[in-house]
Amino acid sequence: MSEVKIHRVKPEWKKNALIDNETYQKWYAESVRSPDKFWAKHGKRIDWFKPYTKVKNTSFTGKVSIKWFEDGLTNVSYNCIDRHLKKRGNQTAIIWEGDNPYDDKKITYNELHEHVCRLANVLKKHGVRKGDRVTIYMPMIPEAAYAMLACTRIGAVHSVVFGGFSPDSLAGRIVDCKSTFVITADEGLRGGKPIPLKDNTDKAIAIAAKGKVKVDKVLVVRRTGGKTGWVEGRDVWYHDEVASVKPDCKPEKMKAEDPLFILYTSGSTGKPKGVLHTTGGYLVYVSMTHQYVFDYHDGDIYWCTADVGWVTGHSYIVYGPLANGATTLMFEGVPNYPSASRFWEVIDKHKVNIFYTAPTAIRALMGAGDSHVKKTSRKSLRVLGTVGEPINPEAWEWYFQVVGDKKVPIVDTWWQTETGGILITPLPGATDLKAGSATRPFFGVQPELVDNDGKVIEGAGDGNLCITDAWPGMMRTVYGDHDRFVKTYFSTYKGKYFTGDGCRRDGDGYYWITGRVDDVINVSGHRMGTAEVESALVSHDKVSEAAVVGYPHDIKGQGIYCYVTLMAGEQWSDDLRKELISHVRKEIGAIASPDKIQFAPGLPKTRSGKIMRRILRKIAEDDFGALGDTSTLADPAVVDDLIANRQNKR
Ligand code: 6R9
């Protein structure tokens, strides 16, 4: 592999940084030596109606029980809104940037307070009580954040379902948590195209009824004014309802361990799991990570491009930033509409200081060409972040050099829906960077690498990534199925939280996530991260994106099958195929030599941008009769092309 370049912390990154390397070392040591003392102190970063006296009460063995700050009383919406009003009532809380570049608005903390209180009163008026589950199926509009915060204000538990999910998926989630109240919009708008959210909701409710869950109320935000079905008595307009109630609503006093939200996430088996997060520990953890990971300072404009339908949207668009009194930007659109300059234009328009996005977006925009970036200024940027999948060094360097003009640190943040917040990450003023490494653990996080037999790997090495002790932001259970929680996360390696990810630790103690362990392939007895081969392919200047899977190989055990998307304007040829094979051999070594390379004009991705390797594996195995569920794909049509041009035809 080519030598890893270290990007040292620059003096200007350190100058006003909240945490320098010395502080990181000191705090980290304290956080693992005396977690009780450490979190007793940092738990105070949020306001409590009744202070906690107990801090950590957690066990990763037996029945597994996770409790933090358990005798404290607090409220999430109070912490995200009310406590800021005196100092920053007129400060912008949310900048909303519409799908259409001429559509935007700003909402102050005072306004946020009124919107959330009114909506909370609407929920109460319709009989929603503490502990009830409310499903939120919304486009990226401020009302989505109001809805989440209104639930937390009265102690209802929200389940946000990504607006790109089908009626079937929505129904499954409604039924699983027996949610009888749904908040949606007439239509969403993305890249100029309407998305029929209300119609999908109607279909989902009909499906849910077969699962014996009857939705009684649907609250509908008018977003586009498009035509939708309407069920009298069940459906009500948001604007009518909020106008009919008082603009003030007292926040409910919640126990730290009261449920805050459920978020469904796919695992390697079975139906999506309802990951349950609770109140106090979650808010402490996401506000703390938001502040230190992004080196957030008062007055910064912060933009995370995720959708609120994913955990990144929960923790780092809504809860973390608002708990810190930040100005958070919410973007309704897509990276390439009206053009591939959109992200960079929005950064200039709103003078964004901190920008957080996904590697898949970075690679796509890199493929579109530098000119789209270079015509913008991006002078306001101070920190760049990535999340969601391993970032290949090539894309990392492009992000650093072209987007950040070599002036801005990149935080590659590793975490999961289950972890609630960021666990492994650089801190901008403290951590020397290596392109492609999530670097070091955040305070209180104790990663451990174990081999397949559970033996702990010390020092530099490769293994399955586990976390050995609890942190305040972690999930508490799988909703309605605690046994599944214990089985999925704590039984593979007894007494440890198993992440499902593979990981390498280098000689400097830096962590390199290699991808899900089910994506690791074994070629002639050599273990190899598919991400490693992908990274090598993408480092070729004609390649924009690559996905690599294993397939059964008579001699080697597994062969390496590569799907490759070329940069705009490049032509596929047999010579290029040969060139790519020798390029990978050169980058990694002969053992990584691709057996098959297929030109792929598009890759099958979930709507959150994750490549669905299960499908690619099946096609590589020439077993596409059993592709399984492809309904969550952003563009199911790419699959037909991949099948037609597969390289392993029997
Ligand atoms: C936050 C989020 C979690 C899985 C995780 C891992 C991958 C996320 C990553 C990363 C390498 C990073 N992942 N961040 N891999 N580097 N910085 O994405 O949650 O949707 O639950 O996905 O995503 O494989 O296990 P979620």
* pLDDT value at 613 more than 50: yes
* pLDDT value at 1 more than 50: no
Q: Yes or no: say if 408 and 384 are a contact pair by the CB < 8 Å rule.
A: yes
* pLDDT value at 567 more than 80: yes
Geometric angle at alpha carbon 638, from 635 and 640, rounded to 5°: 125
Span of 71-75, 530-534, 565-569 with lowest mean pLDDT: 530-534
- Give the mean model confidence (pLDDT) for residues 486-499: 95
Q: Which atom of ligand 1 is nearest to 414's Cα?
A: 17
- Give the mean model confidence (pLDDT) for residues 30-39: 98
The helix/strand/coil state of 102 is: coil
Question: Looking at ligand 1, which residue's alpha carbon is closest to its atom 16?
Answer: 390
Span of 113-117, 479-483, 535-539 with lowest mean pLDDT: 535-539
CB 312 near ligand 1, within 6 Å: yes
Confirm whether the ipTM is greater than 0.90: yes
CA of 414 to the centre of ligand 1 (A): 6
Span of 143-152, 166-175, 282-291 with lowest mean pLDDT: 166-175
CB 265 near ligand 1, within 6 Å: yes
Ranges of H-type helices in 314-436: 320-323, 342-350, 359-368, 371-374, 393-398
- Give the mean model confidence (pLDDT) for residues 46-52: 98
* pLDDT value at 123 more than 80: yes
- Give the mean model confidence (pLDDT) for residues 214-224: 98
CB 254 near ligand 1, within 6 Å: no
Q: Which residues contact 261 (CB under 8 A, 6 or more apart)?
A: 148, 151, 157, 158, 159, 160, 276, 277, 314
- Give the mean model confidence (pLDDT) for residues 411-424: 96
- Beta strands (DSSP E) in 17-120 are 56-59, 65-68, 73-74, 92-97, 104-108
CB 415 near ligand 1, within 6 Å: yes
CA of 519 to the centre of ligand 1 (A): 13
* pLDDT value at 539 more than 60: yes
Q: Binding residue per annotation — 202?
A: no
CB 24 near ligand 1, within 6 Å: no
* pLDDT value at 488 more than 60: yes
Q: Which atom of ligand 1 is nearest to 418's Cα?
A: 21
CB 417 near ligand 1, within 6 Å: yes
CB 513 near ligand 1, within 6 Å: yes
- Give the mean model confidence (pLDDT) for residues 517-531: 67
- Give the mean model confidence (pLDDT) for residues 576-599: 89
Q: Yes or no: say if 462 and 500 are a contact pair by the CB < 8 Å rule.
A: no
Q: Yes or no: say if 408 and 483 are a contact pair by the CB < 8 Å rule.
A: no
* pLDDT value at 522 more than 70: no
**Closest to 435 measured CA to CA, from 404, 403, 392:** 392
* pLDDT value at 2 more than 60: no
CA dist 23 and 601 (Å) reads: 47
Is pLDDT larger for residue 486 or for residue 592?
Answer: 486
* pLDDT value at 310 more than 60: yes
Geometric angle at alpha carbon 14, from 13 and 19, rounded to 5°: 115
Confidence band of 520 (pLDDT split at 50, 70, 90)? low
Please tell me the predicted confidence (pLDDT) of residue 587: 79
Please tell me the predicted confidence (pLDDT) of residue 636: 80
CB 586 near ligand 1, within 6 Å: no
| Each residue's pLDDT tens digit, 68-86 | 999 999 999 999 999 999 9
Please tell me the predicted confidence (pLDDT) of residue 148: 98
Please tell me the predicted confidence (pLDDT) of residue 272: 76
Please tell me the predicted confidence (pLDDT) of residue 266: 66
Please tell me the predicted confidence (pLDDT) of residue 168: 79
538 is written with which tokens? 């993408």
Choosing from 513, 514, 518 the residue with most ligand 1 atoms within 8 A of its CB, the one to mutate for a pocket test is 513
CB 389 near ligand 1, within 6 Å: yes
CB 512 near ligand 1, within 6 Å: no
CB 416 near ligand 1, within 6 Å: yes
CA of 395 to the centre of ligand 1 (A): 17
- Class of CATH domain 524-645: alpha beta
Please tell me the predicted confidence (pLDDT) of residue 384: 98
CA of 611 to the centre of ligand 1 (A): 12
Is pLDDT larger for residue 93 or for residue 622?
Answer: 93
Percentage of residues in the chain with pLDDT exceeding 90? 81
Please tell me the predicted confidence (pLDDT) of residue 526: 64
Rg for the chain (alpha carbons), in Å?
24
Q: Binding residue per annotation — 413?
A: yes
CA of 417 to the centre of ligand 1 (A): 8
CA dist 365 and 286 (Å) reads: 29
CA dist 543 and 547 (Å) reads: 11
CB 161 near ligand 1, within 6 Å: no
* pLDDT value at 554 more than 80: no
CB 387 near ligand 1, within 6 Å: yes
**Closest to 240 measured CA to CA, from 219, 268, 256:** 219
Q: Which atom of ligand 1 is nearest to 515's Cα?
A: 24
Geometric angle at alpha carbon 616, from 610 and 618, rounded to 5°: 135
Q: Which atom of ligand 1 is nearest to 425's Cα?
A: 17
CA dist 93 and 156 (Å) reads: 23
515 conformational bin, left if phi > 0, alpha if psi -120 to 50, beta if neither: left
- Give the mean model confidence (pLDDT) for residues 208-226: 97
Q: Binding residue per annotation — 414?
A: yes
Task: Report the residue count for the chain.
Answer: 650
| Each residue's pLDDT tens digit, 127-163 | 999 999 999 999 999 999 999 999 999 999 999 998 8
Question: Looking at ligand 1, which residue's alpha carbon is closest to its atom 4?
Answer: 416
* pLDDT value at 361 more than 50: yes
Q: Binding residue per annotation — 237?
A: no
- Give the mean model confidence (pLDDT) for residues 387-409: 93
Q: Binding residue per annotation — 415?
A: yes
Domain edges within the chain: 524-645
Please tell me the predicted confidence (pLDDT) of residue 218: 98
Question: Looking at ligand 1, which residue's alpha carbon is closest to its atom 22?
Answer: 416
